[in-house]
Amino acid sequence: MNPVGDALTGVSNGLREVWASKLRSLLSMSGIILGVAALVAMVGIVQGMLGNMRASFEASGGILKVEVNKRAPPESQQYIAGISPGMTWRDIGAIEKSIYLADFVTPIVDMGWERFVANGRREGAMLKGVTPGFIGIETREIKYGRFISDTDIHLKSPVIVLGSHIVNDVFRGKENVIGEQVQVSGQLYTVIGQLAELPPIGGAANRWGNFENRMNFIPATTAMSRYRGNDTVNEIYLLANSVESLPDLVGQVENTLTQTHRGILDFEIRTQEDRLRELKKLENSFTYSLGGIAAISLLVGGIGIMNVMLASVSERIREIGVRKAIGARSHDIFIQFLAESVAISVVGGLIGLVASVGLLSLAQDFIPQGEMINIVPVTAMLFGFAFSTTVGLLSGIYPAMRAARLDPIEALRYE
């Protein structure tokens, strides 16, 4: 008695039966094929999308970025809120003088949606007033020219750095627009810089593309003098010099602004940790959702395999009786039918993996910025294949047990 030899014989018989009934086997494994292909393809696409989102997060300062925004003072300070000057240019000077844990600082003077006119064309886009520190925080690439300088801030120069949207729509057909003139809400500016175009976030194709491409920048002092008539700012961005110094930086900024705002807490300090947590939560949500969908698909495939195997047992009752009559034991029959079930699920899983690579290759071609999609997400492939094999194994146990328990005399009498 050789258990290993008996097992190999049973597996061989099971595989022969699968090959002999190709169409039935293919139909029974279709659920496994679709489940594995769907799981791997969806994970690959989502990983690419999240990769773009992470890249956008890093480009906007990453975990080191700190934002200061306006907010209503607490109820206990409402009656004296008027003594605070609010967020002003004075805050920037105080932060730069007293805080050394930040590599870059910039105010954001948000002018909102403005109309840009040049070469007889007009187009709407966003305009913001900033200082040279902005490019260090947001890490935007300058395609041509330069960004705003300290001299521009000091002289309140009428200069502008354009995003790709205005360059493409207003200066059509021109690759380099440095030195050109553009009118913004009646004010004339000389183009000194041109930002490189950013890809759509998450590879999403829509009429807006990446909204950051619609951002255009002028010196903060120019924005305040030409449009505001005062020194108020909307936000303040800082970039910490290290993760370790981030808590101390937040504390120093709070202390400094509390002094410049005369004790009124009409500001809030936000770090990118909140955004990073949301990104991880979104990633987990996608993972669990896709895993659940794929699990249901694979379970449905397993039910299909079980149905086919039960039908196969019913069709082959007389055959089982003959095999038992000439010496086959119950565990030989059990192994044969179980091997058929596992073979169906394994082959189905392999076909599903090949199909998923094809789907991801198509996604790379048809989804904008599809090069971020990983066509071989190894972890998802291993999980999908392992799960499909397990489903096949579990789905085959009951039919195999039923076949093994058949009484040979009753089986031989079966018509």
How do residues 123-137 score in pLDDT, each as one tens digit? 999 999 999 999 988
Helix (H/G/I), strand (E/B), else coil: 116: strand
Computed over its alpha carbons, how large is the radius of gyration of the chain?
33
Complete DSSP assignment for 73-107:
PPGGGGGGGGG---SBHHHHHHHHHH--SEEEEEE
Indicate whether 31 and 76 sit together in one domain: no
pLDDT at residue number 292: 76
Geometric angle at alpha carbon 86, from 81 and 90, rounded to 5°: 140
pLDDT at residue number 255: 92
Q: Whole-structure pTM over 0.85, yes or no? A: no
Closest CA to 130 of 200, 223, 250, 246: 223
Q: Is the pLDDT of residue 165 over 70?
A: yes
Closest CA to 396 of 1, 18, 3, 16: 18
Indicate whether 303 and 378 sit together in one domain: yes
pLDDT at residue number 205: 41
Indicate whether 85 and 17 sit together in one domain: no
Indicate whether 249 and 311 sit together in one domain: no
**Environment class of residue 279 by beta-carbon count within 10 Å: exposed (0-12), middle (13-18) or buried (19+)?**
middle
Residue 335's domain spans which residues?
A: 3-57+278-413
Lowest mean pLDDT among 134-143, 154-163, 203-212, 311-320: 203-212
Q: What is the pLDDT of residues 170-189, one digit of tens each?
A: 888 688 999 999 999 888 99
Q: Is the pLDDT of residue 145 over 90?
A: yes
Indicate whether 109 and 240 sit together in one domain: yes
Give the C-alpha distances (Å, rounded to integers) separating 189 from 117, 174, 271: 11, 18, 34
Band of residue 326 on the pLDDT scale cut at 50, 70, 90: confident
Indicate whether 250 and 339 sit together in one domain: no
CB neighbour list of residue 246: distance below 8 Å, 6 or more residues apart: 63, 64, 66, 240, 271
Query: What's CA 148's distance to the chain center, in Å?
Result: 32
Band of residue 106 on the pLDDT scale cut at 50, 70, 90: very high
Q: Is the pLDDT of residue 240 over 50?
A: yes
Lowest mean pLDDT among 13-17, 74-78, 247-251, 330-334: 13-17
Tokens 């989102």 appear where?
53
Last-in-domain residue among 215, 249, 271: 271
Query: By percentage, how much of the chain surpasses pLDDT 70?
Result: 82
Indicate whether 216 and 244 sit together in one domain: yes
Mean pLDDT, rounded, for 304-310:
75
With residue 179 as reference, give the H or E element that holds it.
none
pLDDT at residue number 159: 96
Q: What is the pLDDT of residues 337-356, one digit of tens each?
A: 787 777 778 888 888 888 88
What percent of the chain is helix, strand and coil (3-state, nearest 5)?
60, 15, 20
**Residue 192 tokens, joined:** 């000194």
CB neighbour list of residue 138: distance below 8 Å, 6 or more residues apart: 59, 60, 61, 237
Rounded mean pLDDT of the chain? Answer: 80
Closest CA to 160 of 224, 95, 105, 217: 217
Indicate whether 86 and 208 sit together in one domain: yes
Last-in-domain residue among 213, 239, 271: 271
Count structural domains, the chain: 2
Last-in-domain residue among 243, 271, 299: 271
**Residue 26 tokens, joined:** 């293919």
Lowest mean pLDDT among 43-52, 116-125, 269-278: 43-52
Indicate whether 238 and 89 sit together in one domain: yes
Query: By percentage, how much of the chain surpasses pLDDT 90?
Result: 23
Band of residue 383 on the pLDDT scale cut at 50, 70, 90: confident
Mean pLDDT, rounded, for 281-303:
74
Indicate whether 121 and 263 sit together in one domain: yes
Helix (H/G/I), strand (E/B), else coil: 183: strand
Lowest mean pLDDT among 100-109, 162-171, 180-189, 298-307: 298-307
Query: What's CA 384's distance to the chain center, in Å?
Result: 21
Indicate whether 48 and 71 sit together in one domain: no
Give the CA-trace dihedral at 184, 188, 193, 199, to 10 degrees.
Answer: 10
Q: Is the pLDDT of residue 62 over 60?
A: yes
Are the C-beta atoms of 184 and 115 separated by less than 8 Å?
Answer: yes
Indicate whether 123 and 249 sit together in one domain: yes
The dihedral built from the CA positions of residue 278, 135, 182 and 145, taken in this order, carries a sign that is negative
Tokens 């790379």 appear where?
364
pLDDT at residue number 208: 46
Q: List 41's β-bridge partners, or say none.
A: none
Mean pLDDT, rounded, for 102-115:
91
Band of residue 61 on the pLDDT scale cut at 50, 70, 90: low
Beta pairing, strands 65-70 & 102-118: unpaired
pLDDT at residue number 191: 94
pLDDT at residue number 202: 46
